[in-house]
């Protein structure tokens, strides 16, 4: 099964009312309120966000759906694209978790040091760059988390260091350096970059490490996406219910972003939402962590896989143990996808809709195309009663990144 595109169905999926929920879901409201408090600050530092809300469009992609059907796929219901590829500040889903964690840390420092009190206009913090420049932020990244922490951290005034794995694209390193961020490059993979970054940061009491493998704050920042999505669905006149179920496909690396979004969606829709992660064939770390029950005790190399993929955002060999645990009762399954298909769908989306997203983000289309054709996922549809409701289902491909890709590289990818 590991040598080709496939699906793993989670045998531990549990009715939501009986599922184990290790993170208090009220903390999602808390995170949403914190982002609300920071709106004046975000608006001033990043005027492109308008009022300081970092949110992406939810788009109907009828032409893409027709092209996929024309290719011989079976796709029922309505197909939507959640365009985190076009989120302001970081151009990827990382603008959710990453920016949230930077702001949470900023609020803590600012409150402790009397720079603000809750209820103040946080744009006051724009005048505190000197204060924040004494503090360091560090993060390990395959690229996009580094962009998010680097760009938002530099905007607050922090001294930021990003520890980049070998998969990170050159343009991401250059963009960070142009923001005054220190970039340290490693010959090893992402797990090693995180380890080194964590060790560097732990040595320095003025340094804060954003821990992609373990951070509950990142997770909560991602989870807020679900509430925003709910509002967007309602605006489009869509009410999710047992008769109108929601199916969501999330590209997955270490697990934090899809995990947080999944947690938030389950908290709102319970059993009426079905969530599938999608990972590269060569790097299905969360699939392996969950299927073996060993979480971060396994890596893809243990199974003879290389971990090498064009989908740099998903090139993670060892999953987050935290996420494997939290997802145990909640996700429906995990699809795997080849690089070849990612590049094919990238071009197809561009040709049919004029929308560019990066290779990692195209992983979502694997779920869209194969849910109703792979044997194991068809069994899942029958077992859950979804098979009879597919005509009224809403399917969302979560496009996780792309708008910061330089024009030249984009041209090469779409040609």
Q: Which is nearer to ligand PLP, 173 or 389 (CB)?
A: 173
If phi > 0 it is left, if psi is from -120 to 50 it is alpha, else beta; for residue 70 that is: alpha
Least distance CB 320 / ligand PLP (angstroms): 8
Least distance CB 265 / ligand PLP (angstroms): 15
Strand-pairing partners, residue 208, are 137
Q: Which helix (H) or strand (E) holds 159?
A: strand 159-164
- Exposure string for 62-97, b = 16+ CB within 10 A, e = fewer: eebbebbeeeebebbbbbbbbbbbbbbbbbbbbbbb
Cα separation, 234 vs 253, whole angstroms: 30
Least distance CB 53 / ligand PLP (angstroms): 21
Q: Which is nearer to ligand PLP, 109 or 363 (CB)?
A: 363
CB neighbour class for 294 (10 Å; exposed up to 12, middle 13-18, buried from 19): middle
Structure token pair of residue 326: 């939290």
Least distance CB 85 / ligand PLP (angstroms): 8
Least distance CB 17 / ligand PLP (angstroms): 27
Binding site for ligand PLP (CB under 6 A): 92-94, 144, 251-258, 313-314, 316, 358, 360-361, 400-401
Q: How far from each other are the two terminal CA atoms of the chain, in whole angstroms?
A: 32
DSSP calls for 238-263? ----SSS-EEEEEE-SSSHHHHHHHH
Structure token pair of residue 254: 């270490």
Least distance CB 397 / ligand PLP (angstroms): 12
Least distance CB 19 / ligand PLP (angstroms): 20
Q: Which is nearer to ligand PLP, 49 or 92 (CB)?
A: 92
Position of minimal CB gap to ligand PLP: 253
User: Can you state the angle between helices 256-269 and 94-112, rounded to 10 degrees?
Assistant: 90
Q: Which is nearer to ligand PLP, 95 or 233 (CB)?
A: 95
Q: Which is nearer to ligand PLP, 59 or 116 (CB)?
A: 59
Q: Which is nearer to ligand PLP, 150 or 255 (CB)?
A: 255
Q: Which is nearer to ligand PLP, 79 or 254 (CB)?
A: 254
At a CB cut-off of 8 Å and minimum separation 6, what does 69 contact? 75
Structure token pair of residue 403: 């708008």
Least distance CB 405 / ligand PLP (angstroms): 10
Residue whose C-alpha is closest to residue 346's, from 414, 412, 252: 414
Q: Which is nearer to ligand PLP, 161 or 400 (CB)?
A: 400
């Amino acid at each position: 099964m590991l040598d080709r595109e496939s699906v793993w169905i989670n045998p531990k999926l549990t009715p939501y009312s009986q599922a184990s929920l290790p993170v208090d879901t009220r903390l999602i409201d808390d995170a949403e309120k914190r982002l609300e408090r920071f709106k004046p600050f975000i608006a001033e530092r990043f005027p492109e966000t308008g009022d300081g809300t970092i949110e992406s469009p939810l788009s109907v992609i009828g032409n893409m759906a027709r092209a996929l059907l024309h290719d011989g796929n079976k796709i029922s219901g309505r197909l939507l694209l959640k365009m985190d590829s076009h989120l302001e500040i970081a151009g990827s889903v990382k603008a959710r978790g990453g920016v949230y964690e930077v702001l949470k840390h900023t609020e803590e420092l600012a409150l402790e040091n009397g720079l603000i009190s809750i209820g103040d206009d946080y744009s006051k913090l724009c005048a505190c760059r000197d204060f924040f420049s004494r503090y360091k932020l560090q993060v390990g990244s395959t690229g996009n988390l580094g962009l998010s922490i680097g760009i938002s951290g530099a905007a607050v005034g922090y001294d930021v260091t990003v520890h980049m794995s070998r998969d990170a694209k050159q343009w991401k390193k250059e963009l960070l350096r142009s923001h005054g961020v220190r970039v340290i490059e490693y010959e090893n993979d992402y797990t090693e970059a995180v380890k080194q970054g964590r060790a560097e940061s732990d040595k320095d009491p003025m340094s804060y490490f954003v821990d992609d493998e373990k951070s509950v704050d990142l997770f909560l920042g991602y989870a807020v996406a679900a509430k925003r999505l709910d509002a967007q669905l309602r605006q489009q006149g869509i009410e999710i219910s047992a008769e109108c179920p929601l199916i969501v496909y999330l590209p997955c690396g270490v697990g934090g972003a899809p995990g947080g979004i999944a947690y938030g969606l389950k908290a709102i829709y319970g059993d009426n939402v079905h969530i599938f992660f999608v990972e590269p064939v060569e790097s299905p770390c969360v699939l392996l962590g969950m299927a073996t029950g060993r979480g971060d005790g396994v890596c893809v190399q243990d199974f003879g896989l290389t971990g090498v993929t064009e989908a740099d955002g998903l090139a993670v060999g060892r999953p987050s143990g935290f996420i494997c645990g939290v997802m145990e009762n909640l996700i429906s399954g995990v699809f795997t996808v080849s690089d070849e298909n990612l590049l094919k769908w990238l071009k197809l989306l561009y040709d049919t809709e004029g929308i560019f997203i990066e290779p990692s983000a195209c992983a979502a289309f694997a779920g869209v195309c194969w849910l109703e054709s792979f044997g194991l996922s068809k069994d899942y549809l029958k077992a859950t009663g979804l098979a009879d409701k597919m005509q009224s289902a809403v399917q969302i491909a979560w496009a996780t990144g792309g708008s910061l890709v330089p024009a030249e590289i984009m041209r090469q990818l779409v040609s």
